[in-house]
Each structure stands twice: as structure tokens, then as C-alpha cells.
Structure 1
Amino acid sequence: MDLLTIILLGIVEGVTEFLPVSSTGHLILASALLGYDSEYWAVFNIVIQLGAILAIVVLYWRTFWAVLMGLARFDPVSIRFVRNLLVAFIPAAVIGLALHKYIEALLGSPITVAVALIVGGIAILVIERTVKEGDIKGVADIPLAKVVGIGFIQCLAMVPGVSRSGATILGALALGVERRTAAEFSFFLAIPTMLGATALELLKNKDAIAHGGGVGFGAIAIGFVVAFIVALLVVRWFVGIVTKHGFSPFAYYRIIAGAAALIWLLTK
């Protein structure tokens, strides 16, 4: 049963990490649905996110290699690329550390997730229908003031169910960034954000890990690989869907999934 849970959670993470549907929210709902101890799986759920992050590094390795080579030449475009990622990451790092205990309390509330899914879905539809297509193309070309705004908007995702990718993508759209660039900026921003979250979780649980508490390293390795493979497939599909159809399909999914989860949680 543990192996099935490991594989299922790896799939859930790989599918939802970069879609605007909240990977953390789905993992919380999965814990309620399957009835397992969420604290026992806490480190697992955080660390396997690195598998999904590795998928971004693999898919966009040419971009990262070009930036690395550009930094060696002090290329202005590469410098702005890295600057934008680091600046957008800072608000989440500072606020996340300051409010860590409050955020942890919310992680134990499936009802919060269900409501956030519904509200977030409605927000996506509103933004899709009221915000005009932006003309800012390229992560390095996003103005610094808008980068700061996106960084603070990302902090909304500290409420489980809001979706980190959803908040950053929609925030970027509202600030005039075109769809593909908004999605890719969200992908790239996930790297420092999730590395920071994972480091914090591992530090917090270092004693339990050292004494063999929680899920073992073998289980984490399996979940990591599953999340990596699934994310590889999902990201390319997602970019294609967004480019052609926008974010509305994900909004409808959020509303339906959130409503179904809310009804189930209130009637079980």
C-alpha cells in the first residue's frame, strides 16, 4: 500500500506542480482522501518537488546554459535574467520564514484547499476575460518593478490551494507579460523557491530524518523519479495548451475539483 501511495503522490506532484491548480493543495486533498498521516509524509511531499524542478532544468537546459555562458561574459541580458529570478524570489523567502508556523497550520486544512481552488478558478476566469494580452516577451525583459510585484503575488500561494504557478502566472499576465513568458518565468522561479522550501523542511525535520522517522530515503527516491518523469511530459503539454487556449480549462477544473472536494469534506 505504501508503494502505491508513493507512486500516486509522485504522479500528483509531477502533474500539478507547474499547472495553475496547486500541487500542495492536491497533496493535502490526497492525504484526506487516502486517509494517511500527513505528518508522516510531510518531508516526502516537499522533497519530491525537486523531481519536478529537475524536469524544468532538463527541458530548458539550453536556456540555462546560455545564461551561464552569458554571465561569464557579463552579458546584460543574462544578468537581468538572473536578477529577475532572485528579486522575485526574495518576498517569498522573507515572508515564508516569518510566517512559517502559520503556513504550517493551514497545511492541515483540506477545506481551506477546496475553497481556495474554487476562488482561484474564478480569479483565473476574471483575469482571462478582462486583462489584455501583454507585450512583454522574455524573462530578462520584464521590468524590475513588475518583477517585484510578481514576487509579492507569489506569496499568495502560501495559502494551500492557491497555486504558486497560478499566482505567478496570473500576476505576470495582469502586469503586462505575454502568456508564454509568464508561464516560463513561473517555471524558472520555481527553482529557487522550491529549493528554499525543501532546505527549510529538511532542516526542520533533521532529527526525525536522522533517526529514521517518516518516509525513508528509498521511498523519497521513487517519488522523486516519478515526479520527474511525469513533469517532463506535463510541462510541454501545458505550454502548448496555454499558447493556444489560455488558462480557462484549468480554471474550470479548479472550480469543479474544489466544489467536489468541498461537498465530500462537508458530508463525510
Structure 2
Amino acid sequence: MDSLNITAILLGIVEGLTEFLPVSSTGHLVLATELFGYNPKAWEVFNVVIQLPAILAVVVLYRNTFTQVAIGVLRKDRESLHFVRNVLAAFIPSAVLGVLLKKKIDAMLETPVIVAVALIVGGFAIIAIEKFAREGKFEPVSALSLRKSFTIGLMQCLAMIPGVSRSGATIMGSLAMGENRRTAAEFSFFLAVPTMFGATAKQLWDNRHELTAQAGPVGWTQIAIGSVVSFVVALVVIRLFLDYVTKRGFIPFAVYRIIAGGLALVWLMKI
């Protein structure tokens, strides 16, 4: 198999596997750039596009929820309106800061050491929250207060630092405020839809000329391969992740972050 296609498969697996786990998909893609030794500029558009299939996995798995909410909004159902209100309230902070801090965020993406450090710090933060936070009873996303939803949205902004993890920031923020693990994870999934669609749409617009011209060695074949792999892997991960954390918590992911970050830091210091 062509080396470009193999890289597309590997990056698709990385994206689908890490997008919804509290380990940072962006951070892993940055480290993968260093590990695989490929040209990050050549794969920049590819890394953006394959996020969409991963997000689509959430829409597919929760299609009944999204359909019911859409119908409920049209009927002005209170629960559906609160669902939309809470997701939008959590989405707004990252949307605003993402635009204002774009240049600084892009600069951090070029510094793998930041990713390694963030993985380690985030791992210890997860352990601390798991140890001291008091988990509440399960409640639907629509039952969250507007203030709590907005606060979770502020926590999501920490994920602008590569290696922090969007899902990790929102889930741990929810747990710190006394939410149930399942509630926290599902809210993170739902919040990913507008957040990642917005971020991806902006990246696609910014790179529209490269997409149209299909310049460079990475073309639509690699994008198609990576997209399919990303979607399938994300579909499996979301199903397994929700059941796993409901029963066992997030400590294993914290341990992984600390080990991966430590190994990455040692390796980066040697190159």
C-alpha cells in the first residue's frame, strides 16, 4: 500500500480514537507529526477535514435525541428549548475566544513540548477531580442550569491549549461541579457538534484555496480514506467510552496522559 495511504489510515485512527476521549486529539495529531516525520503543512487540510466524520459519529449515534430536540423546538417544548439553550451557552465562549486568539493558538500548535506538558498536567488534574469531586445523580442535558452550562463552556476554552483535550476539559469541569459521569460525557458529546463544526468550517474556509487547487502530495484519495477510518473508529469509541467511564471512571485515561506526556517530553528533548 502507498505510504501516503498508510499515513492517512494512521491519522484517521488517531483522530477517531482521541476526539472524544479525554486525551486530546489535536495534541496527538501534533505529536504524530513529529513521530511519523511527515510534513505537517502537506497534511494540514487533511487533519481538518477528517474531524467532520468523527463529529458525524455523534450525530448518528444520538440521531433519535437530535430528532426529538428538533421536533420539540418547533413545538416550543420546554425541555427541548433548554437542551438547545444549554448547548449554545456552552458553545459561545469557545466560539468567541477561538476567533480572538486564533494566531496564538496556531503558534502553540507548532510547539510539541506544550502538548507533552499539557498531557501530564491534565492527567494529574483528572486524578485530583476524580478523587475529590462528588458525583451527582444522572440528569439529562436539558436539566442543567444556564449558569452551569456556561461555566462548562468556559472550561472548554482550556482546550485551546494543545494537549489539554476538549472532551477532558468539559467532562472534568462537569464532574467538578457535581454532575454525573454519564451526564458529563453526553454533554461533552453534544457540545462537540457545534464546537467542532464551527472550528472545522472556519478551517475549511481559511484553506479553501488549497482544497480547490488540490495542491501537494496529499489529495482527495487520502482525505476519503482518513474520513472513513475516522468515522468508523469514532463510532466504536463513543459507544465503548460511555459504558466504560460510567462503571470505572477516568483514572486510566489520566495515567495514560501522564505516561504518554512523559515519554513524549523525553523524546522531544532528545531530538
State whether TM-score is above 0.5: yes
1:255 counterpart = 2:258: yes
Pairing 1:116-265 to 2, within 5 Å after superposition = 116-135=118-137, 137-214=139-216, 215-265=218-268
Q: Secondary structure at the match of 1:150?
A: helix
Unaligned stretches of 5+ residues in structure 1: none
Give the alignment's TM-score, normalised by structure 2.
Answer: 0.97
Moved over 6 A (4+): none
Give the alignment's TM-score, normalised by structure 1.
Answer: 0.98
Q: Distance in 2 between matches of 1:204 and 1:68?
A: 30
Residue identity over aligned pairs, in percent, reads 60
Deviations 1:172-228 (A, max 9, x none): 111121110100000010000111111111111122222222532222121111000
> What amino acid sits opposite 1:65 in the alignment?
T
Q: Secondary structure at the match of 1:96?
A: helix
Q: Distance in 1 between matches of 2:182 and 2:9?
A: 30
Q: Distance in 1 between matches of 2:147 and 2:136?
A: 16
Q: Secondary structure at the match of 2:244?
A: helix
Deviations 1:61-84 (A, max 9, x none): 111111112112111000000111
User: Does the 8 A contact of 2:138 with 2:182 survive in 1?
Assistant: no
Q: Distance in 2 between matches of 1:103 and 1:261?
A: 20
Residue 135 of structure 1: how far off its partner (Å) = 3.4
Aligned length: 268
Q: Which moved more, 1:37-46 or 1:224-233?
A: 37-46
Unaligned stretches of 5+ residues in structure 2: none
Q: Which moved more, 1:61-70 or 1:113-122?
A: 61-70
User: Does the 8 A contact of 1:136 with 1:178 survive in 2?
Assistant: yes
Q: CA RMSD in A?
A: 1.0
Q: Secondary structure at the match of 1:13?
A: helix
User: Does the 8 A contact of 1:136 with 1:176 survive in 2?
Assistant: no
Q: Secondary structure at the match of 1:165?
A: helix
Match of 1:66 in 2: 68
